[in-house]
Structure 1
Amino acid sequence: MANTTTTSTAEYNYEFDDEAVPCSHDAVRMFLKTFLPPVFSFIFVFGLVGNILVVITLSCYKKRKNMTDIYLLNMAIADILFILTLPFWAVYHYNQWIFKDFMCKLVRFIYAVNFNCSMLLLACVGIDRYIAIVQVTKSFRLRTMALAYKRALCFSVWIISAIFSVLTYIFSACYKENNNRFVCEASFPNTLEAAKWKLAAKIVEISIGFLMPFIVMFFCYASIIKTLLQAKNSQRHKAINVVVTVVIVFLVCQLPYNVVLLKKVIKTQSCQEGINDSYALFITMTLAYFHCCLNPVIYVFIGVQFRNYFLKIMEDLWCFQNVCIPRAHLSRASSDMYSSRKTSEVYASDSDSTFTM
């Protein structure tokens, strides 16, 4: 593509000492060829299985759904769609982009929509937890109203994610590098206005993918912890540990990637700095991607009732093969799970949630 500036990992021109010096990223590309395909394959398998189990559980086994369950279901769907783009990137980084220009735009757009949607739904889960635990007196009215408009709320999240991902679609392109390798990267016209669009695209990515969800989660979960500390409940420490885990995992997975991303946007770099940041960017990016695998573990698998549903899924799978598991084998596990019911005192109107800790 002529007269464009790109974010390819192959060749960068950095300016220092008042001269433009060509900077080869061949070593970075070789690293990505070795590192990314197996990592993406692992995330694909692990994340796909976990999120499919969440969808099956919430769709087929959970009869009464509150807003947290609905957000978790949508988040699992978003994570699945995001995960389905990873094989394209694995093939791309192993060799080159072989799926033509339209697929380049489409895959990058799908990736952006579902990554943003997953992050926004994390914020929605935090808001719903805040209403259920902190705003107890208003909880029933607010959450009943939310359930009445659940389709509109979830649809709005998807639409907002799509709108903020339009820039990704517009400024994505498949083109041939100087070494005749086809790449699928962000591509901006070589003009001053294009630089502004590039900055705007990165600001949107950082804001939607990290800053906004983090601010909402920090406020909501800080208020939740304060409320739990004041509650006279024997299970409050376990609940607090789960809340702290949610925030810490989010920060560990998302903060490094967004810090590196922001640094590359606002700072002019020398060749070696650019190479180092390229390594850092792709390593922290895989960590951010791995968060979609952890969502089912953190938000659902630790839930008391979800473990019961999971055992029921396993039992049904065995019975499908005419080898039913005696319920006696599940009695101990079931009793252990329901022994945690005391915790529901803290979650007044929310005792049937798969998020119950």
Structure 2
Amino acid sequence: MNSIKESLKIYGPIILSLIFLFGLVGNILVVVTFSWYKKSKTMTDIFLLNMAIADILFIFTLPFWAVYSYKNEWIFQDFMCKLFRCIYAINFNCSMLLLACVGIDRYVAIVQVTKSFRLRNLALSHKGTLCLTVWITATCLSSITYIYSESYEIKSSGHIVCEPRYPEGLSASNWKFAVIAVEIGVGFLIPFIVMLFCYACIIKTLLQAKNSQRHKAIQVIVTVVIMFLICQFPYNVVLLNKAISLLEEEKKNLTCPELEKIEYAHNITKLLAFFHCCLNPVIYAFIGVKFRKNIFKVMQNMCFIRKFSLSRTRCSRFSSDMYHSRRTSEVSPSEGGSSFTV
């Protein structure tokens, strides 16, 4: 177990740093592209934009978690412990709720074709209310994380940790079990059931439709579900196992080595769950043809702005040189032309 602990201490910060880098770049590109080049936004576009914002909010906390992983001790203030754990919970709940909303929007657009125009226009007219409701719901679900998160010293090891801490008089194990059960139920099971139903109906409809693009659409949907399961399912299974073990620990049925294994599995699967914020731009945006075209527009415009700025600098520099040369001495036309085109 010591080798696993040392590996997590070494590779954990590296993995978190890579997630920070690629996740930040990818999600910023999503925000820029959807904001600048998606003139006629659908509800899916709006939900994806909110997902990217939620991921960016969480990504900015990763450097602190990387330090925590490397030091194996929380060296920051107690307020930051509460805030960062709450931000993670908000990101988790908000992302899963938005994923469910994306599934519902695609279900309405593809399966409920006759009603899609009216329902989607109604949703677009209340898009601000829908997104605000998702954020408020995610924040309310995460408020208990903020209340009970705390940085405190473990007496056995002397290390300061950033973990939930419940009042002893409220039966700590029961509270932990209740919190984890709510997190799994609302943050994973409900969105997963909604996604499973919506995408199953979508796949059935696309298979029946005579459309040459249906295989590509099915491939995108299957990729969405598979990546969701790969990243989130192991972490939620470990969370459920951890919740059960807390009750068994209270009954003295578990040994310390077994509890340590569960804790290490929790840390490893959490890294995998963190990685999902990198995949969202790839799965929901980069895989789309329109988004790729808009990304190329962003790159071209950035290059154009840079070239235009350089051209203006060189042009002004050339004009200044020409003005100075006329005041001092004669300069041949070929020299002036060559300096302009460099």
Tell whether the structures are fold-level matches, with TM greater than 0.5: yes
Task: Tell me the CA shift for residue 83 of structure 1.
Answer: 1.1
2:16 is the alignment partner of 1:40: yes
Residue-by-residue CA offset, 1:283-303 (whole Å, 9 max, x unaligned):
111111111110110101011
2:263 is the alignment partner of 1:286: no
Letter in 2 for 1:135: Q
Which residue of the partner structure matches residue 339 of structure 1? Answer: none
Q: What is the alpha-carbon distance in structure 1 between the residues aligned to residue 174 and residue 302 of structure 2?
A: 54
2:119 is the alignment partner of 1:134: no
Which structure has the highest helix share of the two? 2
Equivalent position SS for 2:307: coil
Pairing of 1:254-273 with structure 2 (within 5 A): 254-267=232-245, 268=248, 269-273=254-258
Letter in 2 for 1:321: R
Which residue of the partner structure matches residue 11 of structure 1? Answer: none
Task: Tell me the CA shift for residue 189 of structure 1.
Answer: 1.9
Pairing of 1:189-268 with structure 2 (within 5 A): 189-267=167-245, 268=248
Contact 1:132–1:139 (Cα < 8 Å) also in 2: yes
Task: Tell me the CA shift for residue 92 of structure 1.
Answer: 1.2
Equivalent position SS for 2:39: coil
Identical residues among aligned pairs (%): 63
Q: What is the alpha-carbon distance in structure 1 between the residues aligned to residue 60 and residue 69 of structure 2?
A: 16
Which residue of the partner structure matches residue 158 of structure 2? Answer: 180
Contact 1:97–1:184 (Cα < 8 Å) also in 2: yes
Letter in 2 for 1:44: F
2:304 is the alignment partner of 1:319: yes
Contact 1:126–1:221 (Cα < 8 Å) also in 2: yes
In structure 1, the gaps of 5 or more residues are 1-24, 325-357
Pairing of 1:103-182 with structure 2 (within 5 A): 103-178=80-155, 179-182=157-160
Q: What is the alpha-carbon distance in structure 1 between the residues aligned to residue 160 and residue 261 of structure 2?
A: 23
Q: What is the alpha-carbon distance in structure 2 between the residues aligned to residue 63 and residue 216 of structure 1?
A: 29
Q: 1:308 aligns with which of 264, 288, 293?
A: 293
Task: Tell me the CA shift for residue 26 of structure 1.
Answer: 6.4
Letter in 1 for 2:224: V
Which residue of the partner structure matches residue 52 of structure 1? Answer: 28
Letter in 1 for 2:133: S
Equivalent position SS for 1:191: helix
Which residue of the partner structure matches residue 58 of structure 2? Answer: 82
Letter in 2 for 1:303: G
Task: Tell me the CA shift for residue 176 of structure 1.
Answer: 1.9
Which residue of the partner structure matches residue 330 of structure 2? Answer: none
Equivalent position SS for 1:174: strand
Task: Tell me the CA shift for residue 74 of structure 1.
Answer: 0.3
Aligned length, in residue pairs: 300
In the superposition, the TM-score normalised over structure 1's length comes to 0.81
Residue-by-residue CA offset, 1:166-220 (whole Å, 9 max, x unaligned):
1101111111223332221111122353332211110121123211110010000
Q: What is the alpha-carbon distance in structure 2 between the residues aligned to residue 97 and residue 249 of structure 1?
A: 31
Task: Tell me the CA shift for residue 29 of structure 1.
Answer: 4.6
Equivalent position SS for 1:175: strand
Q: What is the alpha-carbon distance in structure 1 between the residues aligned to residue 285 and residue 308 of structure 2?
A: 27
Equivalent position SS for 1:165: helix
Which structure has the highest strand share of the two? 1
Task: Tell me the CA shift for residue 98 of structure 1.
Answer: 1.9
In the superposition, the TM-score normalised over structure 2's length comes to 0.84
Structure with greater Cα Rg: 2
Letter in 1 for 2:269: T
Letter in 1 for 2:204: K
Q: What is the alpha-carbon distance in structure 2 between the residues aligned to residue 193 and residue 275 of structure 1?
A: 22
Q: What is the alpha-carbon distance in structure 2 between the residues aligned to residue 256 and residue 144 of structure 1?
A: 38
Equivalent position SS for 1:188: coil
Contact 1:29–1:93 (Cα < 8 Å) also in 2: no
Q: What is the alpha-carbon distance in structure 2 between the residues aligned to residue 215 and residue 254 of structure 1?
A: 14
CA separation of 1:174 and 1:27: change in aligned 2, threshold 3 A: farther
